[in-house]
Amino acid sequence: MMYAEPPKPRAWKASDRDAVQLCQEWMVYLGAADTVAASGAAKEVCDLYSTRFVAWVDNRPKNLDVETVLRASGIAYIDGRRALVFHPGGAFPDAQDQADILGVALFRFDARGGELDGANEVGRELRATGLANS
């Protein structure tokens, strides 16, 4: 069950700031209605957070690497929330495998196409079921 209107496609490739805003809209749509963009000191830890999730938006135009997954997992574990990583491109197979093992949801977003897909098993499950009850 989804909880808001899905984000509208953008007419341009998302800048880093636009990508964070877009992914915040996706989190709200998926059911994490209290999602906010990190600011101040929190910005050094993550890009977005809600009561139950911490999220990173990696807007680089290359494949997501395992180091990003490990960092997200470690911070989420210490913080007690679930980790989400949003990325506009692909992910290396070892990053996908580690994310599944560690419970990190990977999402692939397309700002211009207005799409969001799960990029690993955890991400596909949360994309299908939403964030409200996970």
The pLDDT value recorded for residue 2 is 61
pLDDT, average across residues 57-69: 93
Residue 1 banded pLDDT, cuts 50, 70, 90: low
pTM for this entry: 0.93
Say what the pLDDT of residue 4 is.
Answer: 72
Strand order in the sheet with 36-37: 36-37, 48-49, 53-57, 82-87, 105-110, 115-118
Please report which helix (H) or strand (E) contains residue 87, including its range.
strand 82-87
Average predicted confidence (pLDDT) for the chain: 92
Provide the pLDDT for residue 3. Answer: 64
pLDDT at 11 over 80: no
Domains of the chain: 16-129 (3.40.1350)
Percent pLDDT > 70 in the chain is 98
Mean pLDDT, rounded, for 98-119: 96
Under the banding of pLDDT at 50, 70 and 90, the label for residue 76 is very high
Amino acid 52: pLDDT = 96
From the number of C-beta atoms within 10 Å of its C-beta (0-12, 13-18, 19+), residue 86 rates as buried
